[in-house]
Amino acid sequence: MLFKIIFVLGTLVAGLLQFQQDSLRITEQMFTREDLVSDLEFMFERFDEIHPNLYANADKNRMSEKIKIVVDSMSSGTRMDFWKNVAPLASDLNDGHTSLLFPSEERKQYFIEGGKLFPFEVYTRKGKLFIQRYFGENLKFHPGSEIISINKIPAKDIISKMKDYLSAERESFKEQLVSYNFHSFFWALFKSSGTFLIKYISAYDNEQYSAVVTGLNQFEFEFSKRNSLKETAVNLFGLEIFPEYNSALLKIGMFSYNNFFEAFVDSSMNEINKNNCEYLILDIRQNRGGNSNLGDKLITYFYDQPFSQFEKIEIKLSDTVKSMNWFDNNLISGKPEAKRLVFELPDIKFEKPDNFFEGEVFLLTSPFTFSSANAFASAFKCYEMGTIIGEETGGLTVSYSDLLTFKLPKTKLTAGVSHKRMFEACGNDNGRGVIPHHYVTPNFAAPDVDTVLNYTLDLIASKRAKSYSLNKN
């Protein structure tokens, strides 16, 4: 038995060392100019093959000029060098599902070597950078404080450069992505020694200060992120009952984790009905998408009429998509030269669950509401399922989506590309997201105060007061 334990431990350690050695080899490997140009050309050839309309949001001639400039200036380098040169080209396509993904192995290697990352959780708003949370012990960094510069680099320049590497149709969603990717992108684009000089305007007294802070190592970073409210499952999914408002708040941070999702929603609806709630508030403000089938499932708990989150789906039948065999080949039987599939999606009458909610429903949205969460919001508004409160969603109601990933032959970096055009319920090809019925913005200077939720509860309170007055009379 002892021998077996030692053998297993030895195997695990050997496996870890092998992983680290493999990671080191790929992260530090130098590629020739010819290799890097080959990967760039391969990526855009694959993009063009798979995407239904690659230049729908970009000028093809201008993109060709940009690609030529990068190719002409390209020299031998690492995978990170390649990503820095090429990711902005993918970003310029302005498609939230088409990009060159960040080389995460390089960040892992940086941690292995003792590297440290920026110790703040931040958010961006209209070109400005603010402190959301500090992962150290210094309480003077109040949430809502504006960061003026980091290591003498103006915050507006940091945001602007990061946005060049992020793929999205709308600027508001790009700002959200800056917040989400800030630690990795700052390390990749603005190298530091692990200490950071920041200038900021305190939200406490509106005075400007300077401070030097130490970054987080891998353990500290991962521990802090696990305990960050934005990253925990507690924040992704949650149920809260407000007895004084006869209301329930159901937080859906992702349309994912299928089995957990269905069990969570079903048990939550049991609890909501057990408490005789008249109002249901669905919060998808931090929901970046997932599986739309789970969105269908959620809708069936409060809407008992036929519906569809999508009106139409167009699929470009590239050789790569055909080779995936994920759709019924009978659909193209006898049409070997077919270039596209078009699905008109009729409204469907779903089975009504026993714990159906009979009351009034509200939906909270933000610029971070994207992909299948955007489709959920679009259907919610299209079929008049309830009232939407918050900000315009980050996705579009007609867009290219459904991420298909592939590896580049030389660098082995991963790229992603849309292979469908999706027309959401009542979708309008006007470059806009889902517009809320009541436009309410967060108060980032007071992150502990949820202005959007408070507005919704106040609206419910007024409805209840009006109903009580009518019943009394």
Residue 11 pLDDT > 50 = no
- Average of pLDDT values for 144-173? 94
Determine the average pLDDT of the residues in 398-423: 94
With beta carbons less than 8 A apart as the criterion, state whether 101 and 406 touch: no
The mean-pLDDT minimum among 133-137, 269-273, 322-326 falls in: 322-326
pLDDT at position 325 is 59
Query: CB neighbours (10 Å) of residue 391?
Result: 23
**Looking at the predicted structure, is the pLDDT value of residue 168 above 80?**
yes
pLDDT in tens, 287-322: 989 999 999 999 999 999 999 999 999 988 888 887
Residue 204 has pLDDT above 90, yes or no: no
Bridge-based pairing of strands 414-424 and 99-100 is antiparallel
Between CA 35 and CA 361 the distance in angstroms is 55
Alpha-carbon torsion angle 182, 444, 386, 236, nearest 10: 50
Please, which pLDDT band fits residue 13 given cuts at 50, 70 and 90? very low
pLDDT at 323: 77
Q: d(Cα 141, Cα 131) in Å, to the nearest integer?
A: 8
Of the pLDDT bands very low, low, confident and very high (cuts 50, 70, 90), residue 225 is low
Those residues with Cβ within 8 angstroms of residue 343's Cβ, 6 or more apart along the chain or in another chain: 312, 313, 314, 315
- Give the mean pLDDT of the chain: 88
Q: How confident is the model at residue 22 (pLDDT cuts 50, 70, 90)?
A: low
The pLDDT of residue 412 is 96
Q: Return the pLDDT at 234.
A: 53
pTM equals: 0.80
Average pLDDT of the residues in 131-152: 86
What is the predicted pLDDT for the residue at 9? 45
Q: How far apart are CA 165 and CA 316, in angstroms?
A: 26
pLDDT digits (tens, 9 = 90+) for 337-373: 668 888 899 999 999 999 999 999 999 999 999 999 9
pLDDT value at residue 26: 72
Residue found under tokens 């409204």: 347
In the predicted structure, residue 8 carries a pLDDT above the cut 80: no
pLDDT of res. 332:
58
Q: What's the fold here for domain 233-472?
A: 2-enoyl-CoA Hydratase; Chain A, domain 1 (3.90.226)
| Domain ranges within the chain, ordered by starting residue | 116-216, 233-472
| pLDDT at residue 470, rounded to an integer | 59
- Say yes or no to pLDDT of 436 above 90: yes
Mean pLDDT of 142-161: 95
The predicted pLDDT at position 466 comes to: 80
The superfamily in CATH containing domain 116-216 is: PDZ domain (2.30.42.10)
- The percent of residues above 70 in pLDDT, for the chain, comes to 86
- Average pLDDT for 117-130: 90
Residue 327 pLDDT > 60: no
d(CA 162, CA 187): 11
Instruction: Specify the amino acid at residue 285.
Output: R
d(CA 64, CA 87): 15
